[in-house]
Amino acid sequence: MKPTLQLQIGQHLTMTPQLQQAIRLLQLSTLELQTEIQEALDSNPMLEMADDDGEPAEKPDDTPIDYAAAEEALASVGAEGQGAEEQALDIDRSEAMPDELPVDSLWEDVFSSGSSSAAGPAGDDDDNPIEARSAAPETLAQHLAWQLNLTPFSDLDRAIGMAILDAIDERGYLTASLDDVLAAVADPEDPYAVEMDEVEAVLHRIQQFDPPGVAARDLRECLLIQLRQLPETLPNRAEAIAIVRDHIELLGSRDFAGLMRKLKLNEGGLKAAIGLVQTLNPNPGGRIGGVSETEYITPDVIVRRKHDRWTVELNPDTAPKLRVNSSYASLVRRADSSADNTYLRNHLQEARWFIKSLQSRNETLLKVAACIVEHQRAFLEHGPESMKPMVLRDIAEEVGMHESTISRVTTQKFMHTPRGIFELKYFFSSHVSTTGGGEASSTAIRAMIRKLVGQEDPRKPLSDNKIADLLLEQGIEVARRTIAKYRESLNIPPSNERKQLV
């Protein structure tokens, strides 16, 4: 075969570095975007934060980024922005020491205890906020072991106690049988050195540890331990113990008539006893080490009502203003090809690309949010029951973008409204046909279900079939299985578990 030359005409997509950067910034969350901006500021000397001193920032090219043209390559490029790690917080609280202190002053008046590196662990959380927040929470096993070490046990009883603690799960329940605990501490040479009575005695002692109800073998024992630790003079304590000890199955099935008949109680007495049982904790281990650090959401878009109109604006805290450092930019010389000038010129171009990508991201996010507000104005004015059905295609066609771009814009982006903070994806929902030929949003149907359940008679809660009939009267035709699915998504128990005594 002979080598030949062929001329072909075709179209293909080229992902330039600028477009890749724009796509990556478009799908970042607020936290990831702040990390990306900080990394750009640290690595590029041409970038700086714009101060509020009236100095105008350098305007990037106003040509909008065509996201729709890059949809075929978004899947491969989009994964690059998913691994952004949270940047560590570096706090420097060093203070300069004065040469001389006033005679009538104290050390604490000049240097706060929070800034001292020698502050001890015995201080309050207010005195040592950084240390208190960074300390690892105490686990249930550590909390129980601490109490075990303070209890005057013999060496054998302490070994039994350690075996019992090893068998307690994170909920606080004993997961091993007493026979297994006995086998774990038994001496192979003298199997009768430890008896079952000793294991039971140590278990009963551990069951008095904090939190109340710990080391129980089942739910009945857990609740009984907590009830027996209450004062004997507490009203309805004896009735509550009888309910848990003898009739917990009837309580679980909410057979209130059977409970009143077996305990010979009237409705008021049974309600008071059940109310006492409901104050107990069926998951005692969750109190220790189960408190997670509070995570706050910073909205990307703020929606306000001004003069009978809904306005949409970006949150200035999540959209910091960057600019090119004019001092460094003035050092760039066009005809110079030295290494230093090339370094400055490349970073200047990267800085302009980054600023343009941020501007395009903000414009796209604002455009999509404004379109969502226009479609869901009834929700903002009347609540979730007025939510209209809307899918990604509706917004994509209106703003002239691809559905996948809208999906990336609305992921992990939040909107602050007078009705609360919602993720942008919250406003998208499927629809259910109505008897009048219209459509109802699934979010609105969930809100109607929650409202109906909130207004039901606790003595006779609404079944899924009854809820479906009530919605049908409003012109919304929904199957019973769909009602059950929506009810479970709202964490609403079935009707037999919602039955109560009034």
The pLDDT tens digits for 327-361 are 888 888 877 788 888 888 899 999 999 999 999 99
Highest mean pLDDT of the ranges 122-136, 259-273, 323-337, 428-442: 259-273
pLDDT exceeds 90 at position 144: yes
Q: What is the pLDDT of residue 280?
A: 95
**Domain 431-498 fold:** Arc Repressor Mutant, subunit A (1.10.10)
Write the Ramachandran bin of 195: left for phi over 0, alpha for psi from -120 to 50, otherwise beta.
beta
Q: Give the residue-averaged pLDDT of 102-130.
A: 45
Distance CA(207)–CA(289), nearest Å, equals: 19
**Residue ranges of the domains in the chain?**
16-66+294-428, 138-290, 431-498
430 pLDDT more than 90: no
User: What distance in Å separates the CA atoms of residue 450 and residue 431, rounded to the nearest whole number?
Assistant: 18
Assign 159 a pLDDT band (cuts: 50, 70, 90).
Answer: very high
What pLDDT is attached to residue 127?
53
68: Cβ contacts below 8 Å, ≥ 6 apart: 400, 401, 402, 405
Residue 317: the pLDDT is 82
For residue 232, the model assigns a pLDDT of: 92
Give me the mean pLDDT over the 131-149 stretch: 80
Instruction: Give the mean model confidence (pLDDT) for residues 246-252.
Output: 92
Residue type, 101: L
Instruction: Give phi and psi for 350, each to the nearest 5.
Output: -65, -40
Distance of CA 293 to CAs 133, 159, 220, 223, 421, Å?
9, 35, 32, 29, 19
What is the pLDDT, as a whole number, of residue 425? 92
Report pLDDT for 86.
Answer: 35
Q: Given pLDDT bands bounded at 50, 70 and 90, which one contains residue 107?
A: very low
Q: Which of 197, 211, 204 is nearest to 147 (CA)?
A: 211
Type of residue numbered 106 = L
Average pLDDT value for the chain: 81
Helices 178-185 and 196-206: angle between axes, nearest 10 degrees: 110
Q: Across residues 486-501, what is the average pLDDT? A: 87
What pLDDT, on a 0 to 100 scale, did the predictor assign at position 15? 67
Give the least confident one: 2-16, 97-111, 210-224, 286-300.
97-111
Three-state SS annotation for 257-321 = HHHHHHHCCCHHHHHHHHHHHHCCCCCHHHHCCCCCCCCCCCCCEEEEEECCEEEEEECCCCCCC
Structure tokens at 436: 């009048």
pLDDT of residue 191: 64
Q: Please compute the mean of the pLDDT values over residues 204-219 and round it to a whole number.
A: 94
Least-confidence region, from 60-69, 236-245, 426-435 = 60-69
In this structure, are residues 479 and 468 in contact, taking their beta carbons and an 8 Å threshold? yes
Question: For 464-468, what is the mean pLDDT?
Answer: 92
Q: What pLDDT does residue 371 have?
A: 94
Q: What is the pLDDT of residue 207?
A: 95
Furthest-apart CA pair in the chain: how many Å?
Answer: 106
Q: What per-residue confidence (pLDDT) applies to 402?
A: 87
pLDDT at 129 over 70: no
% of the chain surpassing 90 pLDDT? 44
Strands (E), 197-243: none
The answer, yes or no, to whether residue 75 has pLDDT greater than 60, is no
Q: C-alpha distances in angstroms, 341 versus 58, 59, 112, 331, 353? A: 20, 22, 48, 8, 18
At 149, the pLDDT band (50, 70, 90 cuts) reads: very high
Beta bridge partners of 440: 432
Among 23-37, 48-62, 286-300, 353-367, the least confident range: 48-62
What digits encode the pLDDT tens for the residues 197-210? 999 999 999 999 99
The answer to whether residue 66 scores a pLDDT higher than 90 is no
pLDDT confidence of residue 93: 37
- At 44-58, the pLDDT tens digits run 999 998 865 545 445
Tokens 């490029």, located at residue:
77
> According to the model, what pLDDT value does residue 87 have?
33
Q: Is the model's pLDDT at 316 over the cut of 80? A: yes
What pLDDT is recorded for position 17? 75
Q: Which of 288-302, 402-416, 464-478 is the least confident region?
A: 288-302
Q: Which residues contact 59 (CB under 8 A, 6 or more apart)?
A: none
Mean pLDDT throughout 435-456?
86
**What pLDDT score was predicted for residue 50?**
80
Least confident of 104-118, 137-151, 189-203: 104-118
